[in-house]
Structure 1
Amino acid sequence: MQLVNNDDFLTQLTTLLQSPKSTGSIWLTHKRLTHDGEDAAMKHEDSGSDDREYQCLIRATNGKEINFSTQVHPNQLHKFYSVYGSILKTSMSTTLRKRDKKKEKTRAEQTAKRKKRMTELVIVDGPKRGANRRKRQRQVKAAIKQQESQKKFKEREGVKGGRMDILA
Structure 2
Amino acid sequence: MQLVDNDTFLKQLASLFESSNQKGSSIWLTHKRLTYDGGDAHTSVMEGVSDAKEYPCILRATDGKEVKFSTHVLPGELDKFHAAYGALLKSSMPSLRRRDKKREKDRAERVARSRKRMTEPVIVEGRKRGAGRRKRQRRIKAAKKQEESRRKFEERQAKNQFTSTAS
- Same-fold call, TM > 0.5? yes
- Runs of 4+ aligned structure 1 residues displaced above 6 Å come to 97-101, 103-106
Offset of residue 40 of structure 1: 2.0
The amino acid of 1:4's aligned partner reads V
Unpaired stretches in structure 2, ≥5 consecutive residues: 158-167
Unpaired stretches in structure 1, ≥5 consecutive residues: 157-168
Worse overlay, 5-14 or 34-43? 34-43
Q: Which deviations, in whole Å up to 9, do the C-alpha atoms of 1:18-51 show, x marking residues without a partner?
A: 2243411111101111111123221114262322
Task: Tell me the equivalent position of 1:82.
Answer: 83
Structure 2 CA distance for partners of 1:99 and 1:49, relative to 1, 3 Å: closer
Structure 2 CA distance for partners of 1:145 and 1:91, relative to 1, 3 Å: closer
Task: Tell me the equivalent position of 1:165.
Answer: none
Task: Tell me the equivalent position of 2:15.
Answer: 15
Offset of residue 145 of structure 1: 4.5
Partners of 1:96 and 1:140 in 2: how far apart? 45
Task: Tell me the equivalent position of 1:33.
Answer: 34
2:59–2:72: 8 Å Cα contact kept in structure 1?
Answer: yes
Question: How does 1:64-143 map onto structure 2 within 5 Å?
Answer: 64-93=65-94, 95-96=95-96, 111=111, 114-115=114-115, 117-118=117-118, 122-127=122-127, 132=133, 135=136, 139=140, 142=143
Tell me the secondary structure at the aligned position of residue 63 of structure 1. Answer: coil
Structure 2 CA distance for partners of 1:64 and 1:105, relative to 1, 3 Å: farther
Partners of 1:127 and 1:70 in 2: how far apart? 81
TM-score under structure 2 length normalisation: 0.67
Number of residue pairs matched? 148
The amino acid of 1:17's aligned partner reads F
Task: Tell me the equivalent position of 2:53.
Answer: 52
Tell me the secondary structure at the aligned position of residue 68 of structure 1. Answer: strand
RMSD across aligned positions (CA):
3.9
Partners of 2:99 and 2:23 in 1: how far apart? 20
Partners of 1:10 and 1:127 in 2: how far apart? 78
Partners of 1:108 and 1:137 in 2: how far apart? 27
Partners of 1:16 and 1:144 in 2: how far apart? 55
Question: How does 1:154-165 map onto structure 2 within 5 Å?
Answer: none
